[in-house]
Every structure is written in structure tokens, then in C-alpha cells.
Structure 1
Amino acid sequence: MVVLQFAWGGGPGNVHLPHNHYANCFVYPGTHDNETSVGWFKDSASKEDKEYLCQYLQTTGDDIAWDLLRACMNSVAATCIVMMQDVMRLDNTARMNTPGRAENNWMWRMGDSGVWAKLQKEAEDMKKIAEMSNRLHKQQG
């Protein structure tokens, strides 16, 4: 298990950095126990971590959730898992769980059934990234 939110400190040998991923692992921008990618970058990432991440991913960080999503999809990791909060580019108001806190966990919901129509562009963009990173399921026949 490698988590991109943990990748930016400790230098180039950090196992969470994409160039150190291996095929038999799962890669996440963050997990249900982490801040959302937007929340982490805005509220918790150090200045040094932000600078390294932006340089490494060649980004400004203006769309950090999708920058990390693309990095996950482009990883050699066999499995890429992305939280819907990151797909939706949400901040920590949409955080799923805070370990060690007994209240107000597991409360976040995507929204009503109309949310899927609002996510059409994200779905198209995810499909493009999946095609480019060879993550689409290949049907036989």
C-alpha cells in the first residue's frame, strides 16, 4: 500500500513516491483515514512538501486532487484506488474519517441521485486517464 500524501518528505527513496512503486501494490492519493487531497494540500502539507510535489508532478497545485489522481493512475501499481471526494475536488468538509475521534465520522455522502449527472465531465476525464494509463478492463472476444 502506497499513499501519495505520504510521498513528499524523506527524499527520493521514499517508498510512496511514484518512481518507487511496484506492480504488486495498491496506490492511493489518500485513504478514508486521511484528509481529502485538497484539504491536505491546503491545510496540512508543509511548504517543502508542496514545493517538492509541484516540482515532481510538474504542476502548480491548482488542481491538486486531479494531479494526485493522475499520478496514481500512471503508477506501475496494479491497483489504483481514488476517493470520490478527490474525484469531486472536495476539501476537508468532506473528510470521511479522523482516526482517534469518536464522533462525526463516516457521515459524508456524495449527494442525491442527481450527483451522477453533475459528474459527467469527471467521468469522461477519468475514462481518458484510464485509457492513457492502460487501466481499462480489456474485454475478450
Structure 2
Amino acid sequence: MDIRIEPFTKNKIIDVVTFEKRLREEEDVWGWEIDDAYLSSVEASFSDRRFISSLSFLAYVDGAVVGRIDCDLIASRFDGTLKAYLDWICVLKSYRHNGVAQALMRALTNKLKADGITSLVALTASNDEAQRFYKAVENSSMHDIGIWIDIK
């Protein structure tokens, strides 16, 4: 399988929307709607300076997006370092176990390394398939557990 990894840029939003619709056809577990508000928000993120530290890559096979990885940089005075937070990695179910997620992770970690970032932190999905993937990531180790806190 020929996997091509490209940065997610504004001109690829339609490719991402098509990918997200395909995700929902394969698994009905996604918690957001692909509506006008969502599309406007994603489009606006490319010109909003608050997203300057966001980094996303898309995995293409045969001209279609089959996977995506997103992260953001976190500057911390705790230890004076810059880390990356893995926000999302997802591959179409029909393309899993073909090296797509590993190719996405490799592209991301290569970019982070080139930029001097030495740590990538992630909250992990609890399903068995995701856990197997995270445990197989080179140079990774599982620590603690994560929480989500809604700010209301």
C-alpha cells in the first residue's frame, strides 16, 4: 500500500470532511456533527493565531484521506520545556493494521524532532485496539491515566 503523508492545510478541508464522513460510515462513535458551524470553525482555525502551534498531517492512499494525526505544542514553565500534545490520531477502520497510523506518527515525530521537541504526551483511547497501537509506538511508555475536565 502506497501511503502519502501531507500536512493538513486549509485547501484540504474538503478531503478531511470526506474522511470524517467515511469514518461515520464505518463506525458510529464520533461525538461531533459535520455541519456548517463545524466547517466554519475548522476553516477559521487556519487564520486564527491561537492555532499557530497546531500541527496536523493527513495520510492519503489512492488520492483519498484514510488517516489523520493532530497535535499542539505546550510551553510549560513547570520544567522550562516545550512539549507536544497528541490531540487525535485516527485511521479508517478498513485501513487499520496497514502501517497508516505508524506512518502518521513517524511524520509527526520527525517534524517535532526537527523543531527541537523531545516529548509527545497523549491521552489514550481505552479500547483494546488503540491500546495495542500506543504500546507499539517506538520509544513510548504508558504512564498514569488521563482525565477530561469540562470548563463551564
Query: Would you say same fold, with TM above 0.5?
Result: no
Given the two structures, how large is their TM-score scaled by the length of structure 2? Answer: 0.30
Instruction: Report which structure shows greater RCO (CA 8 Å, sep ≥6).
Output: 1
Given the two structures, how large is their TM-score scaled by the length of structure 1? Answer: 0.31
Greater strand content: 2
